[in-house]
Structure 1
Amino acid sequence: MPVQTANAVTLKGVRLDRGGRTILRDLDLVVPAGSITAVLGPSGTGKSTLLAALTGELVPATGTVQVFGEAVPRRSRELLEMRKGLGVLLQGNGLLTDLSVAENVALPLRTHTRLPEPVLQRLVAMKLNAVGLRAAAGLYPRELSGGMARRVALARALALDPPLMLYDEPLTGLDPIASGVIMSLIRRLSRSLGLTSIIVSHHVHETLPIADQAVVIANGSIVFDGTPAQLEASEDPLLRQFLRGEPDGPIPFESAPLERTRAEAG
């Protein structure tokens, strides 16, 4: 995958549908190479759907999606090759419970390379050391805390040295201390390895401090694209509602009718 281009991700006129329903529309977005971009928005607004378009899981109904200057391929062999250049950290970590920490991190290397075993083991140790878990190599996922499991998943996502990292709600289920550790790791690794990182999250106050670019998705489209400072200074009612976590405003609170029904029933 070429990485010389100035932009890691480019979306032009993209519409994303699922099950015959439009989830996101009129998406125009540029993510500079080497940057950390926070894609923010309320739960259920389609942030993860955007990631699905970047990985090729979801083909746009209209528009184009490019990763490092090349359109996301549709043929399975070319798509598999492109995905080698993507690191993805999933909400649920996706660790295999019958494999040790070291074996989980080694899995992408065993699948996609033919490295000699000593070299592979050194790489696994390096990845675990990068996330502060080299001493945990022999443990199993059931023996890990939530924060440790997330760091193992991060080490595995970095195993093939991908130039682009995608994070899908990386703080889900973590306490404030573990959340701080994960965000600090993302920032340090992104800078030291020269990665482009896209972080999908609804944890605004934890994510914005490490981001170069902030994108807000609401009501089916991108409603803001700028710097974190510009976002926090915005007087837009929709953005202020989201940043302050207010239930009333331009962003509808979908659970409200259900809650009123329950209240009336009680």
Structure 2
Amino acid sequence: MPVPAANALALQGVRLDRGGRTILRDLDLTVPAGSITAVLGPSGTGKSTLLAALTGELVPAAGTLRVFDRPVPRGSRELLEMRKGIGVLLQGNGLLTDLSVAENVALPLRTHTRLPEPLLRRLVEMKLNAVGLRGAADLYPRELSGGMARRVALARALALDPPLMLYDEPLTGLDPIASGVIMSLIQRLSRSLGLTSIIVSHHVHETLPIADQVVVIANHGIVFDGTPARLQASTDPLIRQFLDGQPDGPIPFESARDGAARAEAA
């Protein structure tokens, strides 16, 4: 993947469908390279569907989507090559329970490179040190706290030095202290490594302080795109409902039927 110039992501008129239903439509968005962008919105509005499109898992039904000025490829070999440049931190961490912390972090390196073992081990040490877990290399996932497991998953996502990082609800299941540690790590690593970071979350107050750009998704589209300061100053009833946690407003509370549809959209 070439070194990014101006924009890491560019979407124009993108429509995303699942199961014959339109989840998101008319998406126009640019994400500057080296920025931290928060993608916020109520649960089930399609934030994770957007991530699926960015990784090539979901092909847009309409519009154009470019990553570092290149269209997301359709061929499996080209798509695999593109994905080497995208790190993804999953909600459930995705750690393999029968591998140690060090072996979990080493997995992408063993899969995609032919590095000699001493260099591979050194890189694993560096990644674990970057997330403050160098001393946990020999532990297993079952021996980790929720916050530690999330940091191991972050170290693994960074193993191949991707220029683009995607975070899917990185604070799910974490206590306030662990959440603060994760957000601080995301900010520090993004700045120090020059990464472009996309954080999908519904944790508004934890995410806004580190974001350069905020995108709010609701009602099948982007309803806000701007700075955190502009978001917090907004008087739009839909934005205020989301930020203030109001049960009544332009964003409908889901019924049982809507809940099943939203689960698919997420």
Compute the TM-score of the two structures, normalised by the length of structure 1: 0.96
SS, match of residue 166 in structure 1: strand
CA distance in 2, matches of 1:256, 1:239: 24
* Superposed displacement of residue 257, structure 1: 9.1
- 1:24-55 CA distance string (max 9 Å, x none): 00000000000000000000000000000000
Change (3 A) 1:244 1:119: same
Change (3 A) 1:7 1:146: same
Alignment coverage as a number of residue pairs: 258
* Superposed displacement of residue 255, structure 1: 3.9
Question: What is the match of residue 52 of structure 1?
Answer: 52
Alignment partner of 1:203 is 2:196: no
Alignment partner of 1:243 is 2:243: yes
- 1:92-122 CA distance string (max 9 Å, x none): 0000000000000000000000000000000
CA distance in 1, matches of 2:65, 2:125: 35
Question: What is the match of residue 104 of structure 1?
Answer: 104
- 1:217-256 CA distance string (max 9 Å, x none): 0000000000000000000000000000111000001048
The worse-fitting range, judged by mean Cα deviation, of 73-82 and 2-11 is: 2-11
* Superposed displacement of residue 124, structure 1: 0.1
SS, match of residue 108 in structure 1: helix
Question: What is the match of residue 188 of structure 2?
Answer: 188
CA distance in 2, matches of 1:242, 1:63: 28
Question: What is the match of residue 145 of structure 1?
Answer: 145
RMSD: 1.0
Question: What is the match of residue 221 of structure 1?
Answer: 221
SS, match of residue 225 in structure 1: strand
* Superposed displacement of residue 4, structure 1: 3.2
* Superposed displacement of residue 2, structure 1: 1.1
* Superposed displacement of residue 126, structure 1: 0.2
SS, match of residue 59 in structure 1: coil
Question: What is the match of residue 19 of structure 2?
Answer: 19
Q: Which runs of 5+ in 2 are unaligned?
A: 259-266
Alignment partner of 1:115 is 2:115: yes
Question: What is the match of residue 94 of structure 1?
Answer: 94
Question: What is the match of residue 262 of structure 1?
Answer: none
Question: What is the match of residue 36 of structure 1?
Answer: 36
Q: Following superposition, which runs of at least 4 residues in structure 1 exceed 6 angstroms of deviation?
A: none
Question: What is the match of residue 2 of structure 1?
Answer: 2
Change (3 A) 1:135 1:27: same
SS, match of residue 124 in structure 2: helix
Q: Which runs of 5+ in 1 are unaligned?
A: 259-266
Query: AA paired with 1:167?
Result: Y
Structure of higher CA gyration radius = 1
CA distance in 2, matches of 1:57, 1:205: 30
CA distance in 2, matches of 1:255, 1:242: 18
SS, match of residue 57 in structure 1: coil
CA distance in 2, matches of 1:177, 1:4: 34
State the structure with bigger RCO (CA 8 A, min sep 6), 1 or 2. 2
Question: What is the match of residue 170 of structure 2?
Answer: 170
Question: What is the match of residue 264 of structure 1?
Answer: none
CA distance in 1, matches of 2:236, 2:256: 23
